[in-house]
Structure formats: C-alpha cells, structure tokens
Amino acid sequence: MMSTRPDIGDILPDIALETPEGGKLSPSGFKGRKLVLFFYPKDDTPGCTTENKDFSALAGEFTEAGVALLGISKDPPKKHAKFIEKHALAAPLASDAEENGLADALGIWTEKTMYGRTYMGMERTTFLVDAEGRITRVWRKVKVKGHAEEVLAAARAL
C-alpha cells in the first residue's frame, strides 16, 4: 500500500496549504528562492514546540541565507495562530488539513502505532528545496535536538 514518495531530485508537489490568517499558500509561490519545509505532528506538544522554537530562533539566519522557512502540520489555521502567539514563533506555519494534501503526496502522512493503537499521523520530516522547486535533501523521522542548525548548514551550502 506504500506509494512512492518524492525524493531527492524530484520536483516538490505543488499542493496549496492554508495560512493561519485563512489565506492559501503553494510551494510554487517560493520559486526563485530556496525553501525549507518542516513537517511536524502537532502544535503545542513538547517535541513540536521545541522544533518550532529552534527554527524560529534561526529564522533571521535562514532569511540572510536566502532561504524561506515553512512549518507544516495538519492542525487547523486557528490553532496555528494561537501556537504562534503563545510561543512568539518567527517561522511561518501552514495547515495541510485537506485530505490528499501535501503530506499525503510526500508519503509522510502515515500509519503510526502507539500503545498498541494504530492511527494516521505526521512523520516528522524536513525537505530542503532549491530555487527551481527541486528537492535537494530530505531528513526523515527527525530527531529535534540540533536539527534546525543542521538544516541551516545544508541550506547555506546549497
């Protein structure tokens, strides 16, 4: 049942996401700039909060390196807005709540198991995309500690 997942060298699928303000945003809107998309399971959980704060702390450095940042989860836009406000996040967020959305197309909305229960969830994954929209690096099943710094180094090297 596992579909083929886009990988290094592939063009990032251009599927619209919703912004916390209720607008729409597509990966193609970043053409001409390098882009980091970090997908995470859920707003306001410990690992996801740390990851968002880490990327936010480095947001200025990503900007200086000519790299756009975007954090993505299935949380609704209103929840993102509260999450941003609560933690003063500088990294922009978008919602991928639609069925067959970007996470589905990338193969990272996947079956997970916890305490013997199976459910669908986001696999913490980060994509580095070049100015032409091509995936140049993928970090799968991300461990949060030190991740934002590693992604910044890779983005600078691109």
Q: What is the CATH number of the domain that holds 63?
A: 3.40.30.10
Look at residue 2 and tell me if it is in a domain: no
In a domain, 128, yes or no: yes
* Section 102-107 average pLDDT: 96
Mean residue pLDDT across the chain: 95
DSSP H helical segments within the chain, as ranges?
A: 46-57, 59-64, 77-87, 102-105, 147-157
Query: Quick one: pLDDT at residue 99?
Result: 87
Residues contacting residue 82 through CB under 8 Å, at least 6 positions apart: 43
CB atoms within 10 A of CB 74: 20
In a domain, 40, yes or no: yes
Which residue, 118, 135, 117, 134, is CA-closest to 126?
135
User: With 80 as the cut, is the pLDDT of residue 83 above it?
Assistant: yes
CB 155 within 8 A of CB 139: no
pTM of the model: 0.95
Q: Considering the domain boundaries, does residue 22 fall inside one?
A: no
Q: Which domain holds residue 81?
A: 34-157
Assigned domain for 127 exists: yes
Active site residue 48: yes
User: Is the per-residue pLDDT at 28 higher than 60?
Assistant: yes
Question: How many CB atoms within 10 Å of residue 104?
Answer: 17
Of the candidates 17, 35, 48, 148, the residue annotated as catalytic is 48
Q: Which residues contact 45 (CB under 8 A, 6 or more apart)?
A: none
At residue 108, φ and ψ (nearest 5 deg) are: -110, 0
Q: Is residue 13 part of a domain?
A: no
Q: Please give the pLDDT value at position 98.
A: 86
Q: Is the distance from CB of 151 to CB of 54 less than 8 angstroms?
A: no
Flag whether 21 is in a domain: no
Q: Is residue 6 in some structural domain? A: no
Number of domains in the chain: 1
HSE-up of 18 (CA within 13 Å, CB side)?
A: 18
